[in-house]
Amino acid sequence: MRDAPTTPPSSSSSPVSVPSAISEPGALEIRGLCFAYPDRPEVLQEISFGVNPGRRVAVVGPNGSGKTTLLLLTCGVLKPSAGVVSVDGGRIKAGGFDPRVTYLFQSPDDQLFCPTVSDDVAFGPLNMGLPAEEVRVRVQEALETVGAEALADRPPHHLSGGEKRLVALATLLSMSPRVILLDEPTSNLDSRNRRQVINILRQAPQTLLVTSHDLEFLLEICPRVLLIDGGRVNADGPIRQVLADRTLLQAHGLEKPHSLVPHRHIGAAPHRA
Amino acid sequence: MEFDSYADLDSPVQAWDPRFKLSAGFLLILVCASLSKAPSLAAAGLGALVLITLSRLPLLFVLRMLKAPIVLLALMLPLLVLTAGGQALWSWRFLHLYRNGLILAARIAAKSLTVILLFIGFFGTVRLNTAFQTLERLKVPSTLLAILLFTYRYIYLYLEDMRKLLSAARLRGYNLQRGLRHIGTSSGILVTLLLRSYEQSERVAAAMRLRGFDGSFRGIARFHRSPADLLAVALTAVWICLLLWLELR
């Protein structure tokens, strides 16, 4: 399906039909994606979905369900055993460099490898062959977007976890990608940094595909969710509808988010039969 | 404190174009490492002190950088003095202070401290990213540069990882002092660190490829050659000639 929900959330829903590749900027299309690790056959089987440009889609599922693998296949770090990933109608080649798609790693230490923050943010634009002046502008803008201008000359290993996460995000934004894949962007963040990440992502014009176990966070930024388990898409629809289905979530090792559970205030008079 | 913390100070050494500075510095360090006579070593040491003074690097910073090498020398050199053999200057029971050992220890100490001071003076006055960009331009193999970069970037991370693993092991009864009994645990910690670093290297490589890395380090530093840079190179050349003359005469 695309962003207009056509598949009601159901634990038994079959893989959805996918329209042909489209060529709008930032349009992401995944068709028949399959992948297996040598010791884990069929991690992903026939995954198909599309995302319209500028839309934000959450990917949820239990541990080991293949969420990270899906993102790594989408950006071309891993090669699928079958299937196609395309952005703007153009195929993403595994192992190649395509600045249209970029990926935020779970650990920012994997993403920050340069001597200073500004070097790290400049790394992508420089490799894209942009002129030095434009690289400087992009670095400045990306750091401003995440509120990390003051960190420009700091070495990454001296940053706090929250600062590292924001700078890692800036390293992607400086490349002006059309699709950003985010793997657990709020893990290990305190409330203030988590809120900052939410604000940045809500304002991002890019197409976003976000995996997280923080369902409350996903509820705030993504109107649509995919539930992956057993290597398949088990549900695809509006996030408030899918995440309100307790039976479906329990069947896939997830819990209904607290904000969707009707509850009484602590201290209210107990109900008597 | 970072190695390049004072790279932006206003001094003639910091202002020297990194391409000329690092080339001249590398050559000078090579020459100093090959010296063995007292006059040439003294001239090299004096020159290194002049370079450090000109660079206006804070004394505390320089001493901090010298701390580890001095500790290492302090551990090694007494052994050399006591075991070198030859004419003994002083004896007490089985302990002998050898003249050859003293001369050799003084030579090693002077040479190593001079080389380290020169390294601090030449390389500590350039921003690390600019230094990598310069070395790339000077045709230093990118694999070597990548190793240097990642060692600098990730050494702190793995030290922290090791501390965490040791703490976790100690909380479950592991004690480093009981080495033999706990050798399995020690090797387990080491293997865990190696595996983690291997896995992380794969993720970092993927992150670099996703941002277009093709084996070349690029930077936005601009290089400007000026007459002062050439003068500095000429002075270094004179210094090198003087050292070689003192060594070979």
Average pLDDT over residues A4-31: 53
Average pLDDT over residues A51-66: 94
Q: Which of B152, B127, B118, B139 is nearest to B217 (CA)?
A: B139
Q: Taking CA atoms, what residue in B is nearest to A74?
A: B210
Q: Which pLDDT band holds residue A52 (cuts at 50, 70, 90)? A: very high
Q: Which of A7-16, A152-161, B31-40 has the lowest mean pLDDT?
A: A7-16
- Domain ranges (residues) in chain B: 12-127+222-248, 142-210
Distance separating the N- and C-terminal Cα atoms of chain A: 46
Q: Which of A206, A247, A248 is nearest to A225 (CA)?
A: A248
Q: Touching check for B164 and chain A: CB below 8 Å?
A: no
pLDDT for the residue B236:
96
Q: Which of A143-147, B96-100, B107-111 has the lowest mean pLDDT?
A: B96-100
Average pLDDT taken over every residue of chain B: 90
Average pLDDT taken over every residue of chain A: 87
- For chain B, positions 125-144, list CB contacts with chain A under 8 A: 127-129, 132
Distance CA A258, CA A217 (A): 11
Distance CA B120, CA A103 (A): 38
The answer to whether the Cβ–Cβ distance between B220 and A135 falls below 8 Å is yes
| Whether residue A271 has pLDDT greater than 70 | no
Q: Which of A3-17, A44-58, A205-219 has the lowest mean pLDDT?
A: A3-17
Distance CA A193, CA A201 (A): 12
A260 vs A83, higher pLDDT = A83
Taking only the tens place, the pLDDT of each residue in B116-143 is: 999 999 999 998 888 988 998 888 988 8
Q: Which pLDDT band holds residue A243 (cuts at 50, 70, 90)? A: very high
pLDDT for the residue A126:
93
Q: In B, which residues are within 8 Å of A156 by CB distance?
A: 153
A59 vs A19, higher pLDDT = A59
Fold of A1-7+28-100+179-259: Rossmann fold (3.40.50)
Shortest Cα–Cα distance, B226 to chain A (Å): 21
| Whether residue A272 has pLDDT greater than 70 | no
Considering A41-50, A168-177, B98-107, B173-182, the range whose residues carry the highest mean pLDDT is A168-177
| Whether residue B207 has pLDDT greater than 80 | yes
Taking only the tens place, the pLDDT of each residue in A193-242 is: 999 999 999 999 999 999 999 999 999 999 999 999 999 999 999 999 99
Q: Touching check for A140 and chain B: CB below 8 Å?
A: no
A4 vs B193, higher pLDDT = B193
Q: What is the pTM of this model?
A: 0.80
The answer to whether the Cβ–Cβ distance between A115 and B127 falls below 8 Å is yes
| Whether residue A250 has pLDDT greater than 50 | yes
Q: In A, which residues are within 8 Å of B206 by CB distance?
A: 72, 77, 110
Question: Which of B129, B207, B214 has its CB closest to that of A105?
Answer: B207
Q: Are A19 and A171 in contact (CB under 8 A)?
A: no
Average pLDDT over residues B2-16: 89
pLDDT for the residue A141:
96
| Whether residue A23 has pLDDT greater than 70 | no
**Three-state secondary structure call for residue A80:** coil
Q: Does the ipTM surpass 0.90?
A: no
pLDDT for the residue B168:
87
Average pLDDT over residues B204-218: 90
Neighbours of A89 (CB within 10 A): 13
The answer to whether the Cβ–Cβ distance between A113 and B207 falls below 8 Å is yes
Q: Which pLDDT band holds residue B172 (cuts at 50, 70, 90)? A: confident
Q: In B, which residues are within 8 Å of A183 by CB distance?
A: none
Share of chain B above pLDDT 70, in %: 97
Taking only the tens place, the pLDDT of each residue in B26-69 is: 999 999 999 999 999 999 999 999 999 999 999 999 999 999 99
pLDDT for the residue B143:
86
The answer to whether the Cβ–Cβ distance between A126 and B220 falls below 8 Å is yes
pLDDT for the residue B176:
63
Average pLDDT over residues A68-94: 94
Taking only the tens place, the pLDDT of each residue in A97-116 is: 999 999 999 999 999 999 88
Beta strands, E only, chain A? 28-37, 40-51, 56-60, 82-87, 90-91, 101-104, 179-183, 207-211, 224-229, 232-238
Q: Which pLDDT band holds residue A8 (cuts at 50, 70, 90)? A: very low
Distance CA A22, CA B123 (A): 53
Average pLDDT over residues A4-24: 41
Q: Which pLDDT band holds residue B149 (cuts at 50, 70, 90)? A: confident
| Whether residue A18 has pLDDT greater than 90 | no
Average pLDDT over residues B92-97: 86
Q: Touching check for A105 and chain B: CB below 8 Å?
A: yes
pLDDT for the residue A261:
81
Q: Touching check for A127 and chain B: CB below 8 Å?
A: yes
pLDDT for the residue A22:
42
Q: Which of B33, B81, B38 is nearest to B247 (CA)?
A: B38
Q: Are A21 and A261 in contact (CB under 8 A)?
A: no
CA atoms within 13 A of residue A225's CA, in its CB half-sphere: 29
pLDDT for the residue B136:
87
Q: Touching check for B222 and chain A: CB below 8 Å?
A: yes
Average pLDDT over residues A40-67: 93
Distance CA A95, CA A77 (A): 6
List every span in chain A annotated with CATH 3.40.50.300. 1-7+28-100+179-259
Q: Which pLDDT band holds residue A42 (cuts at 50, 70, 90)? A: confident
